[in-house]
Structure 1
Amino acid sequence: MLPILGREPVSRVGDLTGPELVSAAHEVARRLPPGARVAISGSDETSRLIHFLGADLAGCASLLIDPDWPDLDGVLDDARPDVLLDADAPPGPDLGTAVPVGDESTWFYLPTTSGTTGRPKVLARSRGSWLRSFTALGVPLEPGDRVLIPAPLSSSLFLFGALHALHGGADLHLLGRWSVSAAAEATRDATVVHLVPAQLSALLAVLEHDPLLRSRCALRLVVCGGAKPDPALAERLARALPGCGLVEYYGSAEHSLIAVRHDERLMPVVDVGVLDGRLLVRSDLAFDGYLERGELVPASTHWTGDEAVQHPDGALEILGRAGAVIDTGARLVPVEAVESALRAVDGVVDVVVAPTRHPRFGSIVTAVVEGDAQLADLRAHARRKLHPAELPRRWLIVDALPRTASGKPARAVIAERLSSGEQL
């Protein structure tokens, strides 16, 4: 049995059968000191998954390295791994490690925060927190399912999707790095896909313009995390792929799952409360704390950092990150509200709203739009939907936004380039 799956895998991962996956993981485990911290690098995503599962067998906590992190050295300094494991390299000496090691309280994973607004923080997670999260998601997989993971496993969102697939007995297709064309081709065989909203928008744009590919798409379910999908995005999915379901979940690297939407309502799956507009969470799915220079710093608060409303039926409405505002001319403009309005314009794949310094107003609202939307359409829509003070004063239309490995906009990079005048 592989501990983090709670079962013997029966799934195929690429060309590997379940027994072959277990055998390869055991080979890795025998070569690791029990209970070590391991940093896993490498270019082949299937090999990295095997090394991750092998490390878990040995009771090791693994950091899956993303070479694009803003400060890789800083991340490694916080994680303080005992072993640097290159999944592309020949195996090391056999230590004869007896497995499995540990129990549900054992750390198996050192995830990081997304790094959208700065250097990622390193977290510590127990096996039990994710084993319970698989059940909390409430997405049963069918024996014939093939789950597409279209981005690197260094993002906890996509690692969760991959392990959920293996836990549920589904086959797994790993792309390793986001490519909308490769993801669209992979939907010929994939029945389930894990995406963030910007990736779903880009995938739908391809399918909408390719009737043949759309007719061959096998997707029955989209699982969407990382950000709130706009209602217009759900409508596009329903038009392009009638019968394809959409499950939205809200959570974080720290708290794992907090709420899941299977129909019209985003319902908590853990104990939540809203105090003065702030969302508080108490959960046995949560992380154990942050690692700073190798030492565990327990979480000091149950606040998620988001503002929310909880309705009488228990449903949550997530309003966005606290402090995600632009101070322009003594008025506070909510960033996420402006972004949400602009995403409804035809041709917009995604949008980031950020401040640009201004000598008179302090900052002005700048909209960086990914896609081929027309500026006149953007401005007209903004005038209809936004308060005059919320209207972007500066517009940039780009082919592609800078992104993290998980597919989220790299907001810190965008803000820095806007400030320095560097090309986006």
Structure 2
Amino acid sequence: MVRSYNLADLLEIMTAAAPARPALVAGAERRTYAQLNERADRVGRHLAQAGVRPGEHVAILAHNRAEWIEAMFGAFKIRAVPIPVNYRYVAAELRHVLADSDSVALIGERSLLAKTEEVRAELPKLRHVVVLEDGAEAEIPGAVPYERALAEADLSEGFPERSNDDRYIMYTGGTTGYPKGVEWRCEDIFFGALGGGNVFGDSIGSPEELAANADQPATAVLNCAPVMHGAGQWVAFMGLFSGAKVVLYTDHAFDADKALRLVAEEQANVLMLVGDVMARPVADALATGQYEVPSLIGIASGGAPLTDGVKRTLRDHLPNIMFLDNYGASETGACGPSVDGADGTARFMMDADVTVLDDDLNVVPPGEIGRLARSGHIPVGYYNDPEKTASTFFTAADGTRWSIPGDFAIRQEDGTIVLLGRGSLVINTGGEKVYPEEVEVALKDHPDVVDAVVVGLPDDRFGQRVAAVVAARPGAAVTLEELTGHCRGRLAGYKLPRQLKLVDEVQRTAVGKSDYKWARSVLA
């Protein structure tokens, strides 16, 4: 069989090379490469027997667990497209992602599927549901239990020949409302975000070359990031394709003490965190002197950067630790590692195909502000959204195709790139991206709210917190508690405002747009 960069092919290559090698640990569940591959086979065959066809979309709605990884590989086995779904979404957000993605099947935890039942009637394309047990008792009519599905799967029939063009989709927040699906070819995501088969060196030249990673010394990665997000997902697959044992942190709330115990128990070499919100508690726990973690070589962060202050604190206890921050976005993939800079400055040594462009797609001179751009292995576009695709992906006069998601940056003389902000407005709170317009729309839907502007303010724990400036109708006296209660039914908890300032009138720019600079000054 001709091998491709479809992720299922890559798992099979690693399995053939090292079937007994440890692959995945998630709580009490442990899988070798052979066991992970066999269970993914069963997921794929079950989906095919349920009528899922190549190119159709299979949503995954769960916290970190072994079955999450099995389900994603299982969809790729039959050339279907897995759709990771944020487990924090409320029913309205779930309805949008499941409908917008045209998902025909859904694999999810029972407690989370209960939220989809609220909008099931509005999802006519969703025709098959598989339930993962999580201790909840909610009734999910017509759902098939996951373990029964795997046990009854018919493995007598093989799988279709896969392709480099098979799709990989992840949903990311949109600046004008609900999340958008970023659509990649499997070959492009492998080289653009999954390490290309060699995280610290030259990429492999063919899928078959991946097998050489089975001869590398055994390593282990403790992944505390949610795998439904790009950063956590990419680290998990980079680990598996490099021959490492991937350990998923499975508790629903992060506990630094438990994470450090897992590092010691599993002899983890790399600890994957999400910014300061996880790194600060880890530093505090290390300061107690209770933990010895001699196996730990590197600390990685995705979804949010580690500040220089936190890095210094961690180095007080782990003087030889390497930091493996890497700039990345759903529309660009992983672009390059961070380098030390001034406090509060995000500076990265970007890959050769990453630069900073002006509005005419010309590279800006060093020291000038432009927009971060990547060429080469980039997405096809946004699924089901040609207008958004046209505003993010551009082709220059010389034929070079660029992904320009809107991050403003400065190119330095030494080749590094300093980031100035994701679209200059996006709020990063504990690794979750919050787009102000979505929160503003929800606030303005309250009957007593006339106008609103939402910004991010510095926060010691989460990096940023969501703050709102609101003008209420005359005579009304809205409160923060009232507004968050109103928004809770349509926004995930991390998007809710944590700070409120009431004003008589919301100031706008000359062209009627939200004046974010003014809003920050009012809140300050």
TM-score (norm 2): 0.60
Alignment deviations for residues 231-276 of structure 1 (CA, whole Å, 9 cap, x no partner): 1122122112111110111110111122223677622212322327
Match of 2:254 among 179, 191, 212: 179
Distance 1:414 1:139, change over 3 A: farther
Q: 1:51 touches 1:87 (CA, 8 Å); kept in 2? A: no
2:345 matches 1:285? no
Separation of aligned partners in 1, 2:179 and 2:260: 30
Separation of aligned partners in 2, 1:116 and 1:191: 37
Separation of aligned partners in 2, 1:313 and 1:297: 33
Alignment deviations for residues 186-232 of structure 1 (CA, whole Å, 9 cap, x no partner): 2213221222212443343432342112x246321112222332211
The one-letter code sitting in structure 2 at the alignment partner of 1:300 is: S
Separation of aligned partners in 1, 2:70 and 2:470: 51
Q: 1:180 touches 1:199 (CA, 8 Å); kept in 2? A: no
Separation of aligned partners in 2, 1:304 and 1:21: 35
Paired residue for 2:23? 12
Distance 1:354 1:23, change over 3 A: closer
Paired residue for 1:300? 391
Q: Structure 2 regions of 5+ residues with no counterpart?
A: 16-20, 108-129, 133-144, 202-212, 342-346, 360-368, 393-402, 428-454, 472-490, 503-524
Q: 1:113 touches 1:122 (CA, 8 Å); kept in 2? A: yes
Match of 2:357 among 262, 268, 274: 274
Question: Shift of residue 40 of structure 1?
Answer: 2.2
Alignment deviations for residues 123-166 of structure 1 (CA, whole Å, 9 cap, x no partner): 22221122213336834796231111113221111011100000
The one-letter code sitting in structure 2 at the alignment partner of 1:267 is: M
Distance 1:357 1:413, change over 3 A: same
Match of 2:419 among 302, 309, 318: 318
Distance 1:210 1:144, change over 3 A: farther
Secondary structure class of the residue paired with 2:23: coil
- Provide the aligned C-alpha RMSD in A: 3.6
Distance 1:82 1:46, change over 3 A: same
Paired residue for 1:164? 238
Separation of aligned partners in 2, 1:173 and 1:246: 19
Q: 2:59 touches 2:105 (CA, 8 Å); kept in 1? A: yes
Residues 73-84 of structure 1 aligned to structure 2 (within 5 Å):
73-84=95-106
Q: 1:278 touches 1:303 (CA, 8 Å); kept in 2? A: no
Separation of aligned partners in 1, 2:348 and 2:424: 23
The one-letter code sitting in structure 1 at the alignment partner of 2:358 is: L
Paired residue for 1:106? 166
The one-letter code sitting in structure 2 at the alignment partner of 1:204 is: V
Residues 246-261 of structure 1 aligned to structure 2 (within 5 Å):
246-261=323-338
Secondary structure class of the residue paired with 1:68: coil
Question: Shift of residue 297 of structure 1?
Answer: 6.4
Separation of aligned partners in 2, 1:167 and 1:278: 35
Residues 137-286 of structure 1 aligned to structure 2 (within 5 Å):
138-139=199-200, 143-176=217-250, 177-181=252-256, 182-188=258-264, 189-213=267-291, 215-216=292-293, 218-261=295-338, 266-269=348-351, 270-275=353-358, 277-286=369-378
Question: Shift of residue 175 of structure 1?
Answer: 1.6
Comparing 302-311 with 31-40, greater Cα deviation is found at 31-40
Separation of aligned partners in 2, 1:296 and 1:350: 33
2:60 matches 1:40? yes
Alignment deviations for residues 9-37 of structure 1 (CA, whole Å, 9 cap, x no partner): 44421221111111111112222334121
Distance 1:356 1:44, change over 3 A: closer
Separation of aligned partners in 2, 1:242 and 1:122: 41
Aligned residues: 356
Paired residue for 2:521? none
2:194 matches 1:134? yes
Separation of aligned partners in 2, 1:287 and 1:20: 31
Secondary structure class of the residue paired with 2:415: coil
Paired residue for 2:395? none
Q: 1:289 touches 1:296 (CA, 8 Å); kept in 2? A: no
Separation of aligned partners in 2, 1:353 and 1:41: 26
Question: Shift of residue 358 of structure 1?
Answer: 7.1
Secondary structure class of the residue paired with 2:100: helix
Distance 1:216 1:355, change over 3 A: closer
Q: Structure 1 regions of 5+ residues with no counterpart?
A: 327-334, 343-347, 360-403
Alignment deviations for residues 281-333 of structure 1 (CA, whole Å, 9 cap, x no partner): 2323322222248x89645323222111001222101111344399xxxxxxx
TM-score (norm 1): 0.73
Q: 1:166 touches 1:172 (CA, 8 Å); kept in 2? A: yes
Question: Shift of residue 69 of structure 1?
Answer: 1.6
Question: Shift of residue 54 of structure 1?
Answer: 1.4
Separation of aligned partners in 2, 1:43 and 1:238: 31
Q: 2:408 touches 2:422 (CA, 8 Å); kept in 1? A: yes
Q: Percent identity?
A: 22
